[in-house]
Structure 1
Amino acid sequence: MELEISGRSAAEIASSLRTLVERGMLPPGGSLPSVRALADRLGVNRNTVVAAYGELARAGVVESRGRGGTRVLDRAEVAQEGFAADTVLRDVGTGNPDPDLIPGFLPALTAMAGRPVLYGEPVIDPGLERWATAWMSEDLAPSAPARLTITSGAGDAVERLFADVLTRGDAVALEDPCFLTSIHTVRLGGYRPVPVPVDDQGMTVDGLRAALQQGVRAVLCTPRAQNPTGASLSADRAEALRDLLREHPYVLVIEDDHFSMLSRAPLHSLIGPEHRRWALIRSVSKFLGPDMCLAVTASDPDTADRLATRLTPGTTWVSHLLQRLTHTLVADPAVTEGIARASAHYAERNASFADRLTAHGVPTRAGDGLNLWVALPVPARAVTQQLMRRGWLARSGDEFVLSDASSARRLRLTVHDLDDTEAEQLAADIAAAVRAVRGRPVRAEVG
C-alpha cells in the first residue's frame, strides 16, 4: 500500500511523514521512499525532500543508512540497571552496591546545617569545592588547567557534554561491550555509536584508531572498573591511547571514573596534558548510594564554560543541601574507612566467586568493580533460561553489546551480597546450566 505523503515544502513533507510514524503507519525499521521517488511523486525538487529527511533525522525520527536508505528509528528501550520488578527469582544481575555498605546519613544531616542558599550565589558549595579540587587534582596532568562543575550524576554530565559538541548523526566512540546508561544516552541523542573493543587492559588501541578514522567527535571511556567487563586501563595501554589522541586534540575525551574511591586499580588516564577538550567525571553513587545524584566533573576551561551553560536552562545548580551532605560524608574519616572496607569486600567476594566458578569448570577471572563478567562456552541466553528454572535471575552479556558477538556468550553477575552457601549453589547451578545447554546429562548438585 502506497503511503499517503503530502506537502510542497520541506516542513510540510516532514510533518506528513511524522504523522505517519506517530500513527504507526510507518513502523520502527520501516523504509521511507527514496529521495528521487518521493520528489517525483510530489512534484518537488529533490533538495526539498533531502531537507525534509534531514529535519526528521535531527528530530530523531529517522536515520539515514546510506545505500540502505532512510528508515524509521526504533525507540525501543535500552535495558536498565537495577532490580527486576515482579520476580520471585533471586536477582544476581542488578549492578547495585550493597546497601549494608552505604554509610548512614543521619549524623551527617545533623552536622551540615547552614544558612539558605539564594539565587545568584556560587553554584558549587565552598566546602565541597575545596575537597573535590584536591580529589580530582590527584589524577590530572599537572600542566592541564582544570575547572570543576557539579551535575546530577555522571549520566547527566555525559548527556550535557554530548549535547554541547554533537548533533544528531555525529559519531561517538563507545566501549564495546558498553555501560547501559551510555547506550541509552547515545540512542536518545540520535548519535551514531562507533564500537571500540575492550580487552583485559581496557579500550583497545586498534579499536580507537579505527573510530578516529571514522571521524568520531567524542570518545567516552571508563578508565577503570569498566562496566560490564571490570577491565582497567594499564599504564602501557593508556600511554598508547594518549599517543593516538595527540593527533586529535579537539576530539572531546570523556573519562567516566564511576568506581573511583572503591577501585582497587590505579587510574591511568588517556587524557594527555596537551589535549584541548576533555572531562573527567566522578560520581558518588557507588560508595554513597545511587540516591546521591551528584557527580564532580573536572574539565578544560572551555568545556567547563559550555557545561555550565548547558546547566543554565534547567537546574542552575545541584542542591547545596546534597552538596553539603556529600562533603560532610566524604570528609568524615569513619565514612572513608567504611568505603575502604566496602572496596575490599567487593574485591574479595568477586574473587571468591570467580574461584568457585573455575573450580566448577567455568574458568573466570575477577576484574574491578561491582560485577563479574563470565565467559561461557555456550550462548548466555540459554544459560539464563536454565538458571531461571533453578531460581536465579541472571543478566546476559548481549544487553551490553554494540557489535562484539562474543558478548552473547557472557554473563554479567552481581554476586557480592551472596553468602558462601548461596555463592556455592549459584556456581554449581551455572555449571549445571552450561552442561544442560550442551546437552550433557546433569547430575544432581549439592548446595
Structure 2
Amino acid sequence: MPGPGGGMETSGVDISGTEISGTEITGRTAGEIAASVRALADAGELVPGTPLPPVRRLAERLGVNRNTVMAAYQRLVQAGVAETRRRAGTVIADPAAAAVEQEGFAAGSPLRDVGSGNPDPALLPDPFGVRPARGEAVLYGERTTDPGLARWAHRWLESDQPREMRLTVTAGAVDAVERLLAQALTHGDSVALEDPCFLASINTVRLAGYRPVAVPVDADGMTADGLHAALQRGVRAVVCTPRAHNPTGVSLSAARAKELRAVLSGHPHVLVIEDDHFSMLSNARYRSIIDPGHARWALVRSVSKFLGPDLRLALVASDPHTADRLATRIGPGRTWTSHLLQRLTASLLTDPSALALVDRARAHYADRNTRFAELLDARGIDIRPGDGLSLWIPVGANNAGTVSERLLRRGWLARTSDRFALDRPAAAGHLRLTVHHLGDEHAALLADDLVEAVAG
C-alpha cells in the first residue's frame, strides 16, 4: 500500500496468504527477499516442502517488480535453499536431501554401479609397499609442509606455472577449493562454475551460501562468452577444470584457453581456481586460463585419482597473497596436513613401481573409454570419449531420468545429467557412465542395454 512519502511500503507477506506472526517475507531487492526467506528457513519457520508465494502475489504485496521476486527465487534455488517443482511452484528444499548427492558408490545397491566415478583400486599403488622417509616428530608451530614433498611439488607445478608461487598442502581438492573460496568470498557472493559441474563444487558453493553463476561447457571447455557474462554479473571467483572435465571429459583447447585468458585480462583480482584433478593420468595437455599477469590465482592438483582417495591430499600452487590468506583458513581448524601422509605421498611419487602403475592406469582408462565409445558407435550412438574416469553419453531427445529407469530394470545404476546441472533443465539428455572396470562381455551387455533403453 502507499507509504507516507507516496511510495510503496515494504510489508510482510505470509507464505500461506494469511497473516501469521513470525512467518513473513520482507524486502525490496532480490537480495533482501532471498535473505528474508533464508532467515525464516534457518529459524525453522519455513520447513522443507513449504511452498513460497506465487511470484505475482509476492511482488504485489511487497510493492516490487515481478522480476525482482523471480531473481530472489532464482538465488534461493541456486543456493539450494529452495527448489522448483514445475506446477507446484517454488518450495523450500530439504538441506539433507540436497547434500546427499556425492561422488562414489551407491551404498547398499544390488545393481551394477556404472555411475560411481571411482578409480580402479587395482591401479592404485599400495601405500604399504613403500617406506616413507624418516623424519623428526612435527610439533605445534613448526613448518606445515614436508620438505621432500615440497621439492617434488615445486618442480612439478613450476613446470606448468613458471611464476612466483607458494605451495600449500590441503586435505584433498575439495578441501582446497572450499578454503580458497572461503578466503576470497563472503556469504551471498557470486562464483562462476562450469555447467554441467562437478558434484562437490556444486555442494561446496551452495552449502557455503555463495551464488553459483553457470558458465556453459562445450567441446573445447568453458565457453568464453559464458565467462564474460559471468564476470559482467560480478562474480568474485571462477572455478575451471582445464582437462578431463567432470562430467563431460572435455579438455581446454589451446584456442579456448587463449580466449578465456583474454576475457579474464580485465579482471586481474577475480580469484581463478584451476582444479586439475586428473593431472598425472590425463592424456591431454595442461592449458591454463591464468594469464602471467593475473593477480589472484590457484592451481589445485589432487593425488586422489592416481595414488588413492584415502590419502586425502592435494597440492595447491598460488600467488603469495592467496597463499597467505589460505593459510589463515587452514590454521585455526585443521592446522596442517599430517606429515606422515605427506612423506608417504612423496615416497609414492618418487617410487618407480608406483609411477609405472600410474602409467598403466592412464593407458587403461583411455583404452576402456575408447573401446566403449566404439561399441556405442557400432550401435548408432556417437560419442566423444574425452578424458577422465567416465563417459558423457547423449541419449537424444529422451529424458535422462527415463533412460536411467530403464537401465535400472536391466540391473545398471547410472548418473543422470540433471545431477550435474546448474541452470539446465532437469530433462537434459545425458548420462555419465563409469565403465573402465567392466570386462569386454559386460561392456557389450551394457552397450546393448543402453541402446534398448534409449529406444524405449
TM-score category of the 2 structures, normalised to the smaller one: 0.7 to 0.9
8 A Cα contact 1:6 1:16, kept in partner:
no
Matched to 1:258, the amino acid is: H
Identity of aligned residues (%): 56
Q: Counterpart amino acid of 2:450?
A: I
Equivalent in 121, 124, 143 of residue 99 of structure 1: 121
- The aligned residue for residue 2 of structure 1 is 19
Distance 1:16-1:385 versus aligned 2 partners, 3 A rule: closer
1:129-148 Cα deviation digits (max 9, x unpaired): 000000101110x3x31100
Of 410, 415, 418, the match for 1:398: 418
Amino acid at match of 1:432: E
Cα distance change of structure 1 residues 6 and 169 upon mapping to structure 2, 3 Å threshold: closer
| Count of aligned pairs | 405
What RMSD in Å do the two structures reach over aligned CA positions?
2.8
SS at 1:318 equivalent: coil
Picking from 300, 308, 333, the partner of 1:314 is 333
**Aligned partners of 1:261 and 1:339 also within 8 Å:** yes
The answer to whether structure 1 residue 411 and structure 2 residue 431 are counterparts is: yes
Partner residue, 1:130: 151
Tell me if the contact between 1:226 and 1:369 (Cα under 8 Å) persists in the aligned partners.
Answer: yes
**Contact (CA 8 Å) 2:187, 2:209: kept in 1 or not?**
yes
Alignment equivalent of 2:384, drawn from 338, 342, 365: 365
Query: In structure 1, how many angstroms separate the alpha carbons of the residues matched to 2:375 and 2:135?
Result: 51
Distance 1:17 1:242, change over 3 A: closer
SS in 2 for 1:77: helix
**3-state SS, counterpart of residue 124 of structure 1:** coil
Q: Return the letter of the residue paired with 1:136.
A: L
Q: Which amino acid aligns with 2:330?
A: L
Deviations 1:314-334 (A, max 9, x none): 011100000000000001121
> 2 CA distance for matches of 1:153 and 1:17?
30
Unaligned 5+ runs, structure 1: 40-52, 64-69, 437-447
State the secondary structure of the residue aligned to 1:174. Answer: strand
Q: For residues 434 and 238 of structure 2, what CA distance do their matches in structure 1 show? A: 27
- Match of residue 444 from structure 1: none
Question: Retained in 1: the 8 A contact 2:80–2:98?
Answer: no
- The amino acid of 1:125's aligned partner reads D
Structure 2, unaligned runs of 5 or more: 1-17, 28-34, 64-71, 83-89
CA pair 38-393 structure 1, distance change in 2 beyond 3 A: same
- Could you tell me which amino acid in structure 1 is paired with residue 146 of structure 2? D
User: Is it true that 1:183 corresponds to 2:206 in the alignment?
Assistant: no
Residue identity opposite 2:319 in structure 1:
D
Q: Is the 8 A contact 2:48 2:91 kept in 1?
A: no
Q: Could you tell me which residue of structure 2 aligns to residue 256 of structure 1?
A: 275
Q: How does 1:157-172 map to 2 (within 5 A)?
A: 157-172=176-191
The 2-side partners of 1:357 and 1:237 are apart by 28
Partner of 2:309: helix, strand, or coil? coil
TM-score of the superposed pair, with normalisation by structure 1: 0.85
1:271 alignment partner, one of 270, 290, 310 = 290
SS in 1 for 2:239: strand
Cα gap change, 1:361 to 1:324, in 2 (>3 Å):
same
Instruction: Quote the Cα distance in structure 2 between the aligned partners of 1:379 and 1:225.
Output: 25
User: 2:335 and 2:19 mapped to 1: Cα distance?
Assistant: 49
Maintained 8 Å contact 2:183/2:326 = yes
Query: Could you tell me how far apart the structure 2 residues matched to 1:344 and 1:152 are?
Result: 27
SS of 1:291's partner is helix
Structure 1 residues 300 and 421: CA distance shift in structure 2, 3 A: same
Residue number in structure 2 paired with 1:116? 137
Name the SS for the 1:361 alignment partner: coil
- Whether the 8 Å CA contact 2:399–2:427 is kept in 1: the answer is no
Q: Which moved more, 1:298-307 or 1:72-81?
A: 72-81
Aligned equivalent of 2:106: 84
Once the two structures are TM-superposed, the CA of residue 364 in structure 1 deviates from its matched residue by 1.5
Indicate how the Cα distance of structure 1 residues 299 and 396 shifts in structure 2: closer, same or farther if over 3 A, else same.
Answer: same
* Partner of residue 50, structure 1: none
1:48 paired residue number: none
